[in-house]
Structure 1
Amino acid sequence: MTDTRGQILDATATLLERTGAEEVSIRDVCQAAGVTAPTVYHHFGDKKALLEAVAAEGFKRYLSAKRSRRPSADPLDDLHRGWADHVGFGLEHPAFYRLMYGTPDAEDRPPAREGHRVLVGILERLAEAGRLRLPPEQAATTIHTGAVGTTLSLLSTPEGPRTAGLADRMRDAVFGAVLHQNEPPDGKGTAAAELARALLATLSVRHTAELTPGERGILLELLGKLAP
């Protein structure tokens, strides 16, 4: 059975599906949850705190699956699954998602940072395998920005030809920007640049005891010139 606090959070989320956060009042929440205003104030204090709690509940539900899932043998599979889970959660729980990621301070919340660390962990495995074109932190920011932008766009745009397959197209474009594709040379030096980016990304997470600090610095400088 849902407790009173959870009942209020669910009722608030349902109301937010119908109207924006500015239009939802404590009175509306009370009517939807079947509680009195003092009960809401007892659990949350005010409307702002209530909305923060809704966002926190969204993160709790979103991260619960990530915490229980073990890494697969292929980090690329984990990356694809992570993108699908992120977009899928947003489309299934739009009220939670808008409060989680649609506010200016969204990235500062501890649960958001936890999700970021999970993504970086996957990308570090890809970097160690030489499959990443960017350092994991940069790649994580690129992927996260693409996933959030895609999800918010899908939530704000009616379904139709414009959005058909959008999540998959955006995923392919974003992954193509951060992953080393191992493409054959095209005669324009792009193969060398791809390899240099992959090695730069790998060196960002792998200790190279064979190299002195000076040798490592020279190598990074040369790779930087090959991969502008």
Structure 2
Amino acid sequence: MTPAPPNLKPPEAPPKPYHHGDLRTALLTAAEAELADRGIEGFSLRQVAKRAGVSHAAPAHHFGDARGLLTALAAEGFRQFLAAQAAREGVADDDPASQLVAAGMGYIDFAMARPTLFRLLWQSNRPDFDSHDLGPAAHAAYQHLIDQVMAAGGRSTADEAAVWAMAHGLADLLAAGRMKTVSSMEPAARDAILAQIMRRALPPT
């Protein structure tokens, strides 16, 4: 039986006014909520500051400009993306094939729970992927998938691409609400179907 997915919903935006605590985290939380409401085109530091209940200068002080904030949000997003995969892997069987399927299920979990952040990671050119924080975070996320494919018997670029295309395709379709026959299922039944599909992309043994 496929284990239940972890709770990956984004934290609630901080209450207003903001008085103390981790301002950086509060701004990142507000930025994700702002993206969900206004999209990348309507994103602004001023609105993020308003949502977080801080001065208009606070986001610029921490992140420089809107691109800096989106870059920091994407870097944190990739770390949470890996954490979602680790959560699935931690309760899956230890054999390489099961671990690879679990990584794919974590990929899907993240996309369904955090669609706005998922799109920022994979569909936007606004973040600076050459930054010292985002670049390594993005590379680590991709390298984890490659390592899992190799452990499961993958030997070629085609093996890597097949697994990535399957996991990402399912995640993207489900996050966009395009697979209602699957997403409307009870979680256990949905996970069983998705795991079966993921296994079809495993490297030949």
TM-score (norm. length: structure 1): 0.64
Name the structure, 1 or 2, with higher relative contact order (CA <8 Å, separation 6+): 2
Deviation at 1:52, TM superposition (A): 1.3
Aligned residue in 2 for 1:209? none
| 18-27 vs 105-114, which moves further | 105-114
CA distance in 1, matches of 2:62, 2:121: 20
Deviation at 1:35, TM superposition (A): 1.2
Per-residue deviation, residues 118-174 of structure 1 (Å, max 9, x unmatched): 2222222222xxxx5xx2543222212222222222222267337556886565445
Equivalent of 1:93 in 97, 101, 114: 114
CA distance in 2, matches of 1:33, 1:10: 8
Q: Do the aligned residues in 2 keep the contact of 1:150 with 1:167 (CA within 8 Å)?
A: no
Alignment of 1:213-224 (within 5 A): none
Aligned residue in 2 for 1:154? 174
CA distance in 2, matches of 1:141, 1:64: 22
**Structure in which a larger fraction of residues adopt helix:** 1
1:139 correspondence with 2:159: yes
CA distance in 1, matches of 2:86, 2:192: 25
TM-score (norm. length: structure 2): 0.70
Looking at CA atoms only, which structure, 1 or 2, has the larger radius of gyration?
Answer: 1
Unmatched tracts of structure 2, length 5 or more: 1-19
| 95-104 vs 76-85, which moves further | 95-104
CA distance in 2, matches of 1:169, 1:64: 23
CA distance in 1, matches of 2:50, 2:94: 49
Q: Are the structure 2 counterparts of residues 170 and 12 from structure 1 closer, same or farther at C-alpha, using a change threshold of 3 Å?
A: same
Aligned residue in 1 for 2:53? 34
CA distance in 2, matches of 1:177, 1:64: 22
1:57 correspondence with 2:76: yes
Unmatched tracts of structure 1, length 5 or more: 181-197, 199-228
Q: Are the structure 2 counterparts of residues 67 and 80 from structure 1 closer, same or farther at C-alpha, using a change threshold of 3 Å?
A: closer
Aligned residue in 2 for 1:123? 149
Q: Are the structure 2 counterparts of residues 63 and 148 from structure 1 closer, same or farther at C-alpha, using a change threshold of 3 Å?
A: same
| 92-101 vs 104-113, which moves further | 104-113
Deviation at 1:40, TM superposition (A): 0.8
Q: Are the structure 2 counterparts of residues 15 and 79 from structure 1 closer, same or farther at C-alpha, using a change threshold of 3 Å?
A: same
Identity of aligned residues (%): 25
Q: Do the aligned residues in 2 keep the contact of 1:9 with 1:54 (CA within 8 Å)?
A: yes
CA distance in 1, matches of 2:49, 2:58: 9
Aligned residue in 2 for 1:75? 96
Aligned residue in 2 for 1:213? none
Q: Do the aligned residues in 2 keep the contact of 1:94 with 1:155 (CA within 8 Å)?
A: yes
**Amino acid in structure 2 at the alignment position of 1:114:** A
